[in-house]
Structure 1
Amino acid sequence: MARYTRTKGSIALITLTNPPVNALSSVVRGGVVEAVARAFEDRQVKAVVLCGDNGKFSGGADIREFAKPMSGPPLVPMIHAIEMGEKPVVAAIEGLAFGGGLELALGCHYRIAHAKAHLGLPEVTLGLLPAAGGTQRLPRLTGIPAALDLITTGRHISAREALKLGIVDQITEGNAVDAAVELALSVIGQPLSPRRLSTRSPPPLADLDSFFDAALAQVKRRSRGAMAPVACVKAVRAAAELPYSQGMQCERELMDTLFTSGQARALQYCFFAQRAAGKWSLPNGAQWNTSRPRAVQTAGVIGLGTMGRGIVVSLVKAGIAVVAVETEKKLLDLGRKLVKGILERDAQRRGVTPPLHLVTFTLSLQPLREVDLVIEAVFEDMELKKRIFSELSRVCKPNTLLCTNTSGLDVDEIASVTDRPPLVVGMHFFAPAHIMKLLEVVCGSRSSPEAIATAMTLGKRMGKVSVAVGNCPGFVGNRMLKLYMDQAYFLLEEGASPEQVDQALEEFGFAMGIFKVGDLSGLDVGWRVRKASGLIGPDVDPKFPSRMRQGRRYSPLLDLLCEQGRWGQKSGRGWYLYDSAGGKEARPDPEIRSFLQEFRLRYGITARRIDAQEVVERCVFALANEGFRVLEDGMAARPEDIDMVYVFGYGWPQHRGGPMFHAAQVGLPRVLQRLEFYYRENPDVPHLQPSTLLRRLVAAGSPPIQQWKQHTGNLHSQL
């Protein structure tokens, strides 16, 4: 709704009221139309101030209405009526003005923002574009380059940046509504034509063709197949080249195409799935989100490798005092230097003082005596972790939560050496931990709801997407990733090259192909883990180990590569060749071609032609198939959680929604048919055999993804 009041005698105050962010629902739009008409008709009203309730202007369209038939007055004519009115309208922006909310403000004649407000047009992140004139008015106000950046990225900007770009006329440290009322009083009677953005021309830009050609090429590279950013470029180009009315027609046509696209559905699915990711219940019926989390004011981090440093930075940026522990002075000094550097660069970028006072570095566990929570981030070795947790039981106060950053080891086994298994939880961060958004919160069989609630809430405080997962080898993400990687190795054995596999996956939408990711992460890390687990041992020929392990096909390709000292970027060569150790530019390596030919010759494999479709289907469908098994086993609460793990932790393209959503979009019968085909071709690869749940869903008529949980039978959640 929109509340109408009068203030200062001649100012109509129209307040958007739709908690929590005053979304422009059909009811709100109807209220605004009525209130604006009332203000324009009232002879005593000389100007209008438009604001939002509870310190927020508007978060934009109500996304929940996207799947429903259109009702209520459309946004475009409503904004047009405000802009063409004969009385000045001032937008008082507090809190936020996003999407349709900012487009509404752009239709006003003046804009004032509180200094702490944020503005943006994030529609592109939902697979859409700003379709209420945003692509046409903003370029006329800020100029084409700035508008194109904001619209194609969807990024949020501060009020100060908005002032610099000319989006707002003033910013205030005080009450934005009061400042807007004063501005409205001061502009009564002044001509409005210069303030109507739709009647302006964009600031001139030399050589439009070259500019937009370059912009389109850049956006295509960055978006990797996403339609919306490309459509945004086309819409802004229309603003630069066409009259306003024709530009609006172009904006509307582009929006019509996007609105019904599968990509928009995928991105909107991700929007809701991210918000639902933390909702689950334990087998005993307890729910973490009804359990009160503990306050965490102080934390310890053990290990200052790449992961530990990122965790320290994330905690400090969340305002938590950290005790960082290392075992050797050299490693401690290096960790201190790198953590300090990250915090200082981040503070400089944000124009604040680095919070270095919040972190203490030490070689002893003793300073962890009084911390509220400890996160262990040492090397992936079970015996090492158990020794640390055993000692933590003696050092820490009895109610300290003990968390492990293991990427796949048994949390229950780690908890077994402590005096407090209910307070032991897995917190699996993703490297670099201060940048990557995913946090897998691993529930041990004895982890208490309070402990899980604390870990989930802490993750949110650190800016992570926290997803609760069960305790099994690899948890959710790495358990599924193993089978995805296996398929990639098998494809190399059968005739593909690393660059061919990577190219197919990047064209699908991944930011980086799997072999480039391996080189970046370091191939030797997993190699050492496989050695420790017995997959590589003295009973295996070190040059040509058997291709079978535990009755199933195993690819020794990566092990052979590591034996040669090819560990990825860190050594200057891995699946690709790099200019130097630590170099980033990957180039195909002729030695890899010889390496693969020698391998195939040794095992009697005749190389065959493998196309991009097979690469994507075998890798992606194997990934989804294991996701169905994860659901069968109760290791994830719902398919949406699995998808969020992959979107935020493994670079899955958001415009494809996640592996489970993608399977639903392709069609479950199609996924089933292709898995059956590949399993017949590769009977020694059991994970290609379609899962029971997939078969059950196809037999049930392929219900919507939100209904899959109903078809897991009598299985009980392991969370």
Structure 2
Amino acid sequence: MAQAVRGSARVAVIRLCNPPVNALSTTTIRALEQEVNRANIDPTVKAVVICGANGKFSAGADIKGFPNIGQPGMASLEPVVSLIENSEKPMVAAIEGMAFGGGLEVALGCHYRIANVKARVGLPEVTLGLLPGAGGTQRLPRLIGVPAALDIITTGKHVPATEALKLGILDELVEENTVEAAISLAERVSDQPLGPRRLCLKETPKLPNMEAFLEEAFVKVKKQANGCFSPEMCFQAIKASVYLPFAEGIHKERELFLIQMFSGQAKALQYAFTAQRVSEKWALPTGASWKTAAPQPIRKAAVIGLGTMGQGIVVSLLKAKIRVVALEQDRKHLELARGAIMARLERVALRMQQNGLKLDGYMPDLLHFTLDFGALKGVDLVIEAVFENMAVKKEIFHKLSAACKPEAILATNTSYLDIDEIASVTSHPHQVIGTHFFAPAHIMPLLEIIYGQQTSPTVIATAMKLSKTMGKIGVVVGNCFGFVGNRMLNPYLEQCYFLLEDGSTPEEVDKALEEFGFKLGPFRVADYTGLDVGWRSREGQGLTGAKLPLGTPPRQRDGRRYSPLPDILYENGRYGQKRGKGWYQYDKPGGNVAKSDPWVHGFLSEYRSAHRIVARTITQDEILERCLYSLINEGFRILSDRIVSLPEAIDTIYINGYGWPRHNGGPMFYASVVGLPRILTKLQKYAEANPDIPSLQPSAFLKKLVALGSPPLKEWSSLQGSQHSRL
């Protein structure tokens, strides 16, 4: 609701009140309209301040109400924003916390805007598959110009108050007492003319080369959207602000909003938004709930192993204002890491300053480099980040068991390895947990949190709280080889290699998956991360040529089909971008421009001839089906094994850690849209054609769901089996 409060003898204060973030529900919008009308007719009120309760202006519309938009009885926000704007009494927005979406649109309807220096503003509707629907695409360009409005609206980014002031979104900033400052401003302007302050009366500033600018901007927006339609719709609405009168622009905005509101992409993006929150609610299969456990405080942490991943973890902890002990094996590696970490911290500080954010403290002051395990005695948490080798990790954890206090949490950053085997060498296995960071660790948002058989709920709760403190998305998963993300990735990558064997090219596979929405196809990703990384993982599993027993067929491992293509490239010194050649060629080592490589094409032709493979033309549909459906199929196996209990957890992992296009909702959501019977039929077809590829055999759980009539995704969890180990 909205409450009227007397701010002074002449100023009324209207407070939005719908905790926790003052979402603009139908009730709140109607209450706001009522209070604005009341202030407008009250002769004692000369000006009005609109603010939010509990230090927050408004986070905008409540996503739970989206399905009811357009239904009878639903209040529309734009007429209320127009009511505010057309008032004959000065309206001042007092912004604290955040003004997002409809919250910022209300503020844009006000004649003046004042904000706390720590506040943020933005129009993030595009991230939910929508566009601002209460005049935001028409008022913001009139206020700050098209280039800045395009940047804010088509990306949905949050703008710090300091930047918003420079752009002209805000009129004033204050350190504290925002509402009191707004009342003072309202009193000062109570007799000022309002015409120049009404954005509906302004024209959008035109650039000298406006048509050329818009053409170029549209190409850029479309490229960055990567198949997502909402940024393009936002562009069209902003373009309308340039060429149409205000009222017609509002009509165009509403028309585009309704098109997007009921689109499949909007449903997928809104699902992705809620899936992230739902995936945090999973209780452990034992019945214990980490959600009710009290997390331990983490005041001081240690990171062991300061390679690329370890360096990123150190920076993540420092950004969270946690003291860090950084430990390496020798002086040379320690000094190299020191230089790299300091350089990263400088870049982080520069980015924060560019975004108008202030550092509360100098991060390097929280950091201590050492070679001594004795320095770990007082830490609350250790994150081991050495390379993927079980023997090395067990040796380190054996040392940690003696060096750390009993209540210290011992975490391993691992992509594949068995958490229980690592915990077995410690005297406190209940304190051991897996923390799978994604590179670069200080930038990538996902954190897979892997519990073992003895990991305590308190330790899981602590890891989840730590992920939030670091600004990451933590997802709790069970212990199996590859956990969730990498376990699903394996059959996907297998199919990519098998497609090359069957006659496709890296360019064709990458093109199909990039057009689906991935920013980079699998072979571009392999070149970027380095073919040596994948080779080391396979070498550790005994899959590369060096560890094969005599007599093993060249394209089989343990009786199943295996492609040695990436191994052969690696053994030919083709490491990817770092060497200037991998699946593609580059103009120089470390170059970013991937070009088709005749050597790779010749090599694939020779490989097929050597193995008597007759190359055939492979369609884009087959590429997508074999890659995506094999990945989805493994997702159903993971659900059946209760490695996670929610399909939303799988989707959250794949969107935030593996580049799955958010506008397709995640692999399990995508499966529900495509239709489970279709996926089952296609998998059966490909499995019959490739009996030596077990990953193509349809999951028993997928078959079960189809037999049950393909129930909606939200019901899948209740139909899962009991958990068992897949190690």
User: TM-score, normalised on structure 2?
Assistant: 0.97
Paired residues of 2:480 and 2:726 also in contact (CA < 8 A): no
Moved more, 61-70 or 101-110: 61-70
Paired residues of 2:283 and 2:290 also in contact (CA < 8 A): yes
Residues 357-401 of structure 1 show CA distances to partners (whole Å, capped at 9, x for unaligned) of 111111121111110010000010000000000011111111111
CA pair 205-537 structure 1, distance change in 2 beyond 3 A: closer
Aligned match for 2:247, one of 239, 245, 248: 245
Corresponding residue for residue 49 of structure 1: 49
Corresponding residue for residue 406 of structure 2: 398
User: Match of 2:433, SS?
Assistant: strand
Deviation at 1:681, TM superposition (A): 1.7
Q: Aligned letter for 1:252?
A: R
Matches within 5 A, 1:73-152: 73-152=75-154
Paired residues of 2:126 and 2:155 also in contact (CA < 8 A): yes
CA pair 286-539 structure 1, distance change in 2 beyond 3 A: closer
Matches within 5 A, 1:188-587: 188-351=190-353, 352=359, 354-537=362-545, 540=548, 546-587=554-595
User: Match of 1:51, SS?
Assistant: strand
Corresponding residue for residue 596 of structure 2: 588
Deviation at 1:410, TM superposition (A): 0.5
Deviation at 1:35, TM superposition (A): 0.7
**In 2: Cα distance, 1:230 partner to 1:73 partner:** 27
Matched, 1:21 2:29: no
**In 2: Cα distance, 1:448 partner to 1:428 partner:** 18
Aligned match for 2:716, one of 701, 708, 714: 708
Paired residues of 1:152 and 1:233 also in contact (CA < 8 A): yes
**In 2: Cα distance, 1:543 partner to 1:611 partner:** 35
Matched, 1:37 2:68: no
Residues 328-364 of structure 1 show CA distances to partners (whole Å, capped at 9, x for unaligned) of 2121111100100111121122233641111111112
Matched, 1:671 2:671: no
**In 1: Cα distance, 2:250 partner to 2:409 partner:** 56
**In 2: Cα distance, 1:121 partner to 1:56 partner:** 16
**In 2: Cα distance, 1:621 partner to 1:222 partner:** 26
Deviation at 1:288, TM superposition (A): 0.5
Deviation at 1:73, TM superposition (A): 2.5
Paired residues of 1:637 and 1:717 also in contact (CA < 8 A): no
CA pair 346-664 structure 1, distance change in 2 beyond 3 A: same
**In 2: Cα distance, 1:62 partner to 1:593 partner:** 52
Residues 411-462 of structure 1 show CA distances to partners (whole Å, capped at 9, x for unaligned) of 1000001111100000000010000000000010111101111111111111
**In 2: Cα distance, 1:7 partner to 1:321 partner:** 44
Paired residues of 2:542 and 2:548 also in contact (CA < 8 A): no
User: Match of 1:67, SS?
Assistant: helix
- What's the C-alpha RMSD, in Å, of the aligned pairs? 1.6
Deviation at 1:551, TM superposition (A): 1.9
Deviation at 1:538, TM superposition (A): 5.0
Q: Aligned letter for 2:637?
A: R
Deviation at 1:541, TM superposition (A): 9.3
Deviation at 1:701, TM superposition (A): 2.0
Deviation at 1:718, TM superposition (A): 9.6
Q: Aligned letter for 1:93?
A: I
**In 1: Cα distance, 2:546 partner to 2:462 partner:** 44
Paired residues of 2:642 and 2:721 also in contact (CA < 8 A): no
Deviation at 1:529, TM superposition (A): 2.7
**In 1: Cα distance, 2:553 partner to 2:341 partner:** 41
Q: Aligned letter for 2:441?
A: A
Corresponding residue for residue 356 of structure 2: none
Deviation at 1:21, TM superposition (A): 0.6
CA pair 108-56 structure 1, distance change in 2 beyond 3 A: same
**In 2: Cα distance, 1:195 partner to 1:504 partner:** 50
Residues 250-303 of structure 1 show CA distances to partners (whole Å, capped at 9, x for unaligned) of 111111111011111111111111122222112321101100010000111010
User: Match of 2:173, SS?
Assistant: strand
Paired residues of 2:237 and 2:256 also in contact (CA < 8 A): yes
Matches within 5 A, 1:160-171: 160-171=162-173
Paired residues of 2:303 and 2:382 also in contact (CA < 8 A): yes
**In 2: Cα distance, 1:707 partner to 1:145 partner:** 45
Corresponding residue for residue 635 of structure 1: 643
- Structure 1 residue runs without a partner (length 5+): none
**In 2: Cα distance, 1:546 partner to 1:43 partner:** 90
- Identical-residue share of aligned pairs (%): 56
Moved more, 470-479 or 6-15: 6-15
Residues 221-264 of structure 1 show CA distances to partners (whole Å, capped at 9, x for unaligned) of 11110000011111111001111111111111111111011111
User: Match of 2:203, SS?
Assistant: coil
**In 1: Cα distance, 2:432 partner to 2:653 partner:** 21
CA pair 193-538 structure 1, distance change in 2 beyond 3 A: closer
Paired residues of 2:580 and 2:588 also in contact (CA < 8 A): yes
**In 2: Cα distance, 1:283 partner to 1:133 partner:** 48
Paired residues of 2:481 and 2:726 also in contact (CA < 8 A): no
User: Match of 1:370, SS?
Assistant: coil
Deviation at 1:536, TM superposition (A): 2.4
Residues 62-96 of structure 1 show CA distances to partners (whole Å, capped at 9, x for unaligned) of 11101225334310111111111111111111111
User: Match of 2:13, SS?
Assistant: strand
User: Match of 2:45, SS?
Assistant: coil
Paired residues of 1:524 and 1:567 also in contact (CA < 8 A): yes
**In 1: Cα distance, 2:546 partner to 2:344 partner:** 43
Paired residues of 1:29 and 1:72 also in contact (CA < 8 A): no
Residues 469-500 of structure 1 show CA distances to partners (whole Å, capped at 9, x for unaligned) of 11100000000000100000000000110011
Q: Aligned letter for 2:401?
A: S
CA pair 692-35 structure 1, distance change in 2 beyond 3 A: same
User: Match of 1:277, SS?
Assistant: helix
Q: Aligned letter for 2:389?
A: D
Deviation at 1:542, TM superposition (A): 11
**In 2: Cα distance, 1:629 partner to 1:95 partner:** 43
**In 2: Cα distance, 1:253 partner to 1:9 partner:** 43
Deviation at 1:580, TM superposition (A): 2.1
Corresponding residue for residue 61 of structure 1: 61
Moved more, 289-298 or 557-566: 557-566
- Structure 2 residue runs without a partner (length 5+): 354-358
User: Match of 1:535, SS?
Assistant: coil
Deviation at 1:189, TM superposition (A): 2.4
**In 2: Cα distance, 1:274 partner to 1:717 partner:** 25
Aligned length in residues: 719
User: TM-score, normalised on structure 1?
Assistant: 0.98
Q: Aligned letter for 2:268?
A: A
Deviation at 1:715, TM superposition (A): 5.1
**In 2: Cα distance, 1:68 partner to 1:555 partner:** 51
Paired residues of 1:380 and 1:529 also in contact (CA < 8 A): yes
Paired residues of 2:56 and 2:96 also in contact (CA < 8 A): yes
